[in-house]
Amino acid sequence: MGRVLFITSFKGGVGKTTLAANIAAVLARMGNRVLAVDGDMGMYCMDMALGLENAALYDIADVLAGVCTVEQATVRCDTVKGLSFIASPCKKPEVIPARERFLELFRTLRGAYDYVVIDSSAEETPYYLSFAACADDAVVVCMHQSISVRAAEKTGLRLQERGFRSVRLAVNCYRAELARAGALPTVAQMIDGSAIRLIGVVPRDDNAVTDQERGVTAFGSGRRTASPYEAAVYNIACRIAGENIPLLHNVTKPKRIRRYTRVKF
Ligand SMILES: Nc1ncnc2c1ncn2[C@@H]1O[C@H](COP(=O)(O)OP(=O)(O)OP(=O)(O)O)[C@@H](O)[C@H]1O
Ligand SMILES: [Mg+2]
């Protein structure tokens, strides 16, 4: 049975969609069958991060409302083998489907994929709660600042109260030079300062922005050397797959992409 990952945060704009799209792509490049689901109802934005803008005829709301089948709403990603996608509607539907519809749909998806990666909204809407109810593991994304880590910790604890047994923290836009200078918390300080276990530390990296602009996901840019962002997402994907590797392994000095041996090109 596949696992359903819920990528979330308390605050907006912290990098959920970017991370969800790239984690999904790397898990697929590792040989898994992966479905990325845009769970940010009405925001319609993961399609761009996956290079699948306007590729979908139907969306997740259509599936939940019974307007189309899951297969009709599923778009295959041509550039990443094993990766599929279900879009969010461009307008949040007024009628919220019953929770049982979500649970039923994700039961089916678990049977068809190794991983289903849900990109959530920051706002705790009824949709957010229904998607959360379908997931096995949560990754709470925060920025590299104590205030953001604390907000993420609160989100993580709320998710634990809702029954999540596995909640992990991903620190995005990490700036090593400012941590070294004592201006921002170090990784050790963030580990000490949060009740939620870290799953990854992702550097601030312009490659993440420019790749996304072209609809390119991790390890798809054609660069010979990985970007720090790609190296960090690779580490997170390895940890999701059960491997135990150091948090910043190869992140500050990324290697040639052929050294990321679990990724297939
Ligand atoms: N590690 C990073 N380094 C540099 N830029 C990043 C990084 N991660 C994300 N970004 C950029 O930050 C912006 C916000 O990212 P994203 O849309 O993924 O956030 P979000 O949490 O999904 O936002 P929202 O709450 O609005 O859905 C995007 O322009 C993205 O390219
Ligand atoms: Mg988003």
If you compute the radius of gyration of the chain from its CA atoms, what whole number of angstroms results?
17
Task: Classify burial at 45, counting beta carbons within 10 Å of its beta carbon; exposed 0-12, middle 13-18, buried 19 or more.
Answer: middle
Separation between Cα atoms, residue 235 and residue 246, nearest integer Å: 8
The CATH code belonging to domain 3-259 is 3.40.50.300
- In angstroms, how far apart are the furthest CA atoms of the chain? 55
Residue nearest to atom 31 of ligand 1 (CA): 209
pLDDT in tens, the chain (265 residues): 999 999 999 889 999 999 999 999 999 999 999 999 999 998 889 999 999 998 999 999 999 999 999 999 999 999 999 999 999 999 988 899 999 999 999 999 999 999 999 999 999 999 999 999 999 999 999 999 999 999 999 999 999 999 998 999 999 999 999 999 999 999 999 999 999 999 999 999 999 999 999 999 999 999 999 999 999 999 999 999 999 999 999 999 999 999 998 898 7
Q: Token pair for residue 216? A: 């390119």
Please provide residue 3's backbone torsions phi and psi, each rounded to the nearest 5 degrees.
Answer: -110, 145
Please provide residue 23's backbone torsions phi and psi, each rounded to the nearest 5 degrees.
Answer: -65, -45
Residue of 8, 9, 17 best suited for mutating to test ligand 1, as the one with most atoms within 8 Å of CB: 17
Name residues contacting ligand 1 (CB within 6 A).
Answer: 9, 12-18, 40, 43, 122, 172-173, 202, 204-205, 208-209, 212, 229
Q: Where exactly are the structural domains of the chain?
A: 3-259
Count of CB atoms situated within 10 Å of the CB of 141: 29
**Atom from ligand 1 closest to the CA of residue 141:** 21
Ligand 2 centroid from CA 43, angstroms: 8
Ligand 1 centroid from CA 38, angstroms: 15
Count of CB atoms situated within 10 Å of the CB of 227: 22
